[in-house]
Structure 1
């Protein structure tokens, strides 16, 4: 498992199950058994996984608050020929999880270190695949801000996004987030609620945002575990609807200059009729 050319170690990005241990790959098990160090965001969770598969290996804590320090420490280990596996709590590492810094350091300072992804489960993709919504183009947003003003600002930026949206949310903020989505996207936008994928209490429920809120408020025991929302993209109703990149440019520009100037500039740049831009401004207002 050594990089024989330079005697550098390898950095493996190892995907682990998101709930069902049977989903782990044979390749992942081989890597976890043979590496010199395993970096885990949660030693308890990964410890249980290793114990289940009778893997005895060194496990080190690697999470948000020590990532900067530990990235340099374990990079030195790799440079000296040690092989390191990076895992997250569950699923594919770096998707809303620590790991970015050590990858960035490898790419910038030691370009000869091989970084090898070991593919596997990803809750966002699993939810999308079973949602029944378009999968050819999608936008992964991860967790929205826990601050209402920032969350509303971001949702307004996504209002006219035509791609399917993937949003993660915690059980504590779910209802507030859904009400914000309803107020900004409209009560009839279709949304798929998913939770606890691959686990015993896995659940999918799809409906309009208004009906989903009503269903959740009647079934509050459902708000548990890892929650992912899959939201249908904005649907154009006629030829007057503009592409999302033009809308975003217009909405950003109108915050800085008078509306008439913003309309004139966007109209000239993108060859869009001024009356269409004005109509969109009124609707958005």
Structure 2
């Protein structure tokens, strides 16, 4: 075995789309371990076959991780090497595996990464947004009230925000981001990275939300959404929003005043409405 050591848990990154993005070291490791723990063994079959990997596989996903981890730990303790892969990208990044890795480390078993693709980092590298400091938020809550609450909590975050989103919620999430962060906030939609229909769109949240809402093609595939942090320009919009809201509040109900003030200034509507105390 050229690299993998008996009794080691290898955390192996796999491609996020293009099957040729699997590194030579990852191919060698997956061929030489005793067992591959895959999020979905059927999904991984095409990748493994493409690279001539015939290693046995077993399923480890969010619904069976507790039970599967115990069996894998027993194999590792007996001296077998095991590779952990997810459906795409780096395991544990919005994917299962945390419990297995934590338990292996607690048991004194060596855990070693074989790095590679990660959708969040790939998107950040081409977004053109500040990347020296960023916040990875993964998937937002599926239900609208919880999602909007979380976005309101992030409205003042100064670092670039990185989200994952599914095809059936991307339009709703962009609309909620527009409302929470302001229509003028700079953002990027990265869709189907490294795949045939790869798309990277950079625009204001208002423009992105409108484009995706009216274009069904931009609602298909896998998404990374990136939003610029709140900077000095955003601070100025919030101050203007507060000024406009205060004037409108004298004549209109708080909700309507906040909606109009946000549209005029680009300030987050929920921030203005929350400050009304009603």
- In structure 1, the residue matched to 2:208 is 212
Aligned match of 1:40 = 38
What is the alpha-carbon distance in structure 2 between the residues aligned to residue 193 and residue 186 of structure 1? 16
Q: 5 Å matches for 1:111-126?
A: 111=108, 113-126=109-122
1:80 alignment counterpart: 78
Is the counterpart of residue 101 in structure 1 residue 102 in structure 2? no
Q: Are the equivalent residues in 2 in contact too, given 1:2–1:10 (CA < 8 A)?
A: no
Is 2:108 the counterpart of 1:151? Answer: no
Distance in structure 2 (CA, Å) of the matches to 1:162 and 1:64: 32
RMSD: 2.3
Which residue in the other structure is 1:24 paired with? Answer: 22
Q: 1:84-126 CA deviation, whole Å, 9 max, x = no partner?
A: 0000001111101110001111122x12x11010000001100
Offset at residue 217 of structure 1 (A): 2.5
Task: Quote the Cα distance in structure 2 between the aligned partners of 1:178 and 1:138.
Answer: 19
CA deviations 1:156-177 (Å, max 9, x no partner) are 1100000000011111111111
> Do residues 225 (structure 1) and 234 (structure 2) align?
no
Q: C-alpha displacement at 1:218, in angstroms?
A: 2.9
Q: Deviations over 1:255-283 (max 9, x none)?
A: xxxxxxxxxxxxxxxxxxxxxxxxx9898
> Are 2:124 and 1:163 aligned?
no
Q: Is the 8 A contact 2:41 2:57 kept in 1?
A: yes
> Match of 1:263?
none
Do the aligned residues in 2 keep the contact of 1:37 with 1:59 (CA within 8 Å)?
yes
Give the stretch that moved more between structures: 145-154 or 31-40: 145-154
Cα deviation digits, residues 182-231 of structure 1 (max 9, x gap)? 11111111110111000110001111111112211232112111111010
**CA distance, structure 1, for counterparts of residue 101 and residue 205 of structure 2:** 38
Residue in structure 2 matched with residue 50 of structure 1 by the alignment: 48
Tell me which moved more, 181-190 or 80-89.
181-190
TM-score, with normalisation over the residues of structure 2? 0.82
CA separation in 2, counterparts of 1:237 and 1:212? 19
Give the unaligned 5+ runs of structure 1: 242-279
CA distance in 1, matches of 2:23, 2:234: 47
**Maintained 8 Å contact 2:188/2:201:** yes
What is the match of residue 88 of structure 2? 90
Give the number of aligned pairs. Answer: 242
* Misfit runs of 4+, over 6 Å: 238-241, 280-283
**Per-residue Cα deviation, 1:52-97 (whole angstroms, up to 9, x for no partner):** 1111110111101100001111001100000000000011111011
Contact 2:189 2:224 in 1 (8 A): yes
